[in-house]
Amino acid sequence: MVGRLEGKNAIITGAAGGIGLETTILMLHEGASVLMTDISDAGLNKALSKVNSVVPASTRTGKVEIKVVDVSNESQIEAAVAHLDAWGGLDIIFNNAGIMHPKDGDSEECPEDIWDRTMNINVKGVWYGSKHAVRAFRRHGKKRASVINTASMVALVGAATPQLAYTASKGAVLAMTRELAIVHAREGFRFNSLCPAPLNTPLLQDWLGDDKEKRFRREVHFPTGRFGEPVEQAHAVIFLASDESSFVNATDFVVDGGLTKAYVTPE
């Protein structure tokens, strides 16, 4: 059976983390070649071992490689995209790397350096990834290409447990992605945002730790009664990356178990 991403070349940023790793695995299952990038070398090597055990080389048609990339450094993003020139050029980029810093807070609490660092990674990183993707799509004469940028549900609804820099950064991802989608629509380059709800990934779970009160403060709002799983986001990314979503453009693609539509949740 032909995979849904057969022959496509993809870059994933933040590929050592929860959503990025699960997306790598699904993309390989679907026939893509994937360059896994992350700021953490150790994280990438660990993630690659998992990938190779779940999708052994003998079972895949595409290849997988790793490369250390800090998304807030434009030349590193540019080099990662250029790396795929030898593969036939980029078709898909999943601008997924992001941070939620423990020192982030409300407008009084959030230190300026944390604000700047959050914006540099979460917003500029997505801009750099989008910009160099467009250049590569044009360079290779691509008529169909997909960019998926990770935002968050906090870009859509306010939270009384604030992380102002994070929330503002994710709102910027939505607005930027929407505009890029319109600008490049006639070239066949689609841009969509992914808006996950709180998940079982290190980003959130390390921060919550075993603080039961902090955990309950969030869980009570989930219609499903649970956190999401990273693979549930990855399935959405595969759809957005594939030609099945050829008429899906500029969306805030919400994968949240109904959280942002809930008023009172089931007991």
Binding footprint of ligand NAD on the chain (CB under 6 A): 13-14, 16-20, 38-40, 43, 69-72, 96-100, 121, 150, 152, 196, 198-199, 201-204, 230
Measured from the CB atom, the residue of 142 and 170 that comes closer to ligand NAD is 170
Distance CA 146, CA 8 (A): 10
Assigned token pair, 3: 């995979």
Q: Which among 76, 40, 34 has a CA at the least distance from the CA of 203?
A: 40
In the set 166, 191, 227, 253, the catalytic residue is 166
Distance CA 182, CA 192 (A): 11
Minimum separation from the CB atom of position 193 to ligand NAD (A): 10
Region for 184 from its dihedrals, namely left if φ exceeds 0, alpha if ψ lies in -120 to 50, beta otherwise: alpha
Q: What is the number of the residue whose Cβ is closest to ligand NAD? A: 17
- Residue-level length of the chain: 267
Distance CA 93, CA 104 (A): 28
Q: For residue 204, what is the enclosing H or E element?
A: helix 202-208
Measured from the CB atom, the residue of 202 and 258 that comes closer to ligand NAD is 202
Contact 94, 20 (CB under 8 A): yes
Measured from the CB atom, the residue of 142 and 259 that comes closer to ligand NAD is 259
Minimum separation from the CB atom of position 222 to ligand NAD (A): 12
Measured from the CB atom, the residue of 198 and 257 that comes closer to ligand NAD is 198
Respond yes or no: is residue 263 known to be catalytic.
no
Q: Which among 24, 87, 82, 14 has a CA at the least distance from the CA of 50?
A: 24
Minimum separation from the CB atom of position 187 to ligand NAD (A): 26
Minimum separation from the CB atom of position 157 to ligand NAD (A): 12
Q: Which residues participate in catalysis according to the annotation?
A: 166
